[in-house]
Amino acid sequence: MEKNTKLGKRFQGKVAIVTASTQGIGFGIAERLGLEGASVVISSRKQQNVDEAAEKLRAKGIEVLAVVCHVSNAEQRKNLIDKTIQKYGKIDVVVSNAAVNPSIDPILKTEDSILDKLWEINVKSTILLLKDAAPHLKKGSSVVLIGSVVAFNPPPTMAMYGVTKTAVLGLTKALATEMAPDTRVNCVVPGSVPTYFTSFLTDNDALREEIEGKTLMRRLGTTEDMAAATAFLASDDASYITGENLVVSGGIPSRL
């Protein structure tokens, strides 16, 4: 994020929770919001990971609260919200980024336990986290969900994952209606971004070149690209935008 030295301060005085934010897209989002003035609450499953990520963010002058939170754990979700309110007294932004893709099996050959896990982490945990956060979200607050371009046409190797992300697109619409007019709800829909999560695709040179060739920009996305889009939707610059799924894919075909 150092390459952009002219960031504004759209989140000065605001408090933002970002789940699964110790690496990859989640970390990039936390960093961007923090550089724009937010107090950021980061979380992931392991204490060591949240501590290391917090150290990196604080080194850039960002105010950080680091909390261990496995999003499928009700007690840890509640603790994430409680700790945020105890320290900052409010929540202005929630970014739901946690997701898993534990299987490349076809849908009809996916084990029941894996189907449950995909649904629980990729869809249900967002609903349950927002149940806890909603009482603290006041007028002008914003929720950003993180989807995936595979939601529009789930590929064979990411079929059920893609279907859960299709559900996230619908969830965005439904929550926007339910939480209006005080809270806006939008979704950033990333294309291919090289992270640990997508390494099985982007570490393969032939696959990587194939994906790059499908984009109009002839490159993969970056965590900074996703962070910039998220920061826009979460900010007051997008104050008249809600219920929208913003595709950030370099022009990979997604929809009309």
pLDDT at 125: 98
pLDDT at 106: 96
207 confidence band (pLDDT: 50, 70, 90): confident
202 confidence band (pLDDT: 50, 70, 90): low
Average pLDDT over residues 186-193: 95
**Residues 150, 50: Cα–Cα separation, whole Å:** 28
Residues near 184 by beta carbon (within 8 Å), at least 6 away in sequence = 141, 142, 143, 176, 233, 238, 239, 241, 242
Question: Regarding beta strands 183-190 and 245-248, do their DSSP bridges make them parallel or antiparallel, or are they unpaired?
Answer: parallel
The residue behind tokens 């534990």 is: 102
pLDDT at 208: 83
6 confidence band (pLDDT: 50, 70, 90): confident
CA distances from 141 to 60, 227, 254 (A): 25, 18, 29
Task: Tell me how far apart the 2 most distant CA atoms of the chain are, in Å.
Answer: 50
Cis peptide before 190 (omega within 30 of 0): no
**Residues 101, 116: Cα–Cα separation, whole Å:** 12
The dihedral over CA atoms of 153, 158, 164, 170, expressed in degrees to the nearest 10, equals -20
Residues near 19 by beta carbon (within 8 Å), at least 6 away in sequence = 26, 43, 44, 69, 71, 80, 95, 96, 97, 98, 129
The catalytic residues are 161
Residues near 85 by beta carbon (within 8 Å), at least 6 away in sequence = 91, 136
- Cβ atoms 17, 41 nearer than 8 A: yes
Q: Is the pLDDT of residue 196 over 80?
A: no
Name the token pair of 32.
Answer: 């961007």
What pLDDT digit, counting tens, does each position of 72-101 carry?
999 999 999 999 999 999 999 999 999 999
pLDDT at 190: 96
- Cβ atoms 95, 16 nearer than 8 A: yes
pLDDT at 78: 98
What residue ranges in the chain does DSSP mark as E strands? 15-18, 39-44, 64-68, 91-96, 137-146, 183-190, 245-248
Average pLDDT over residues 140-154: 97
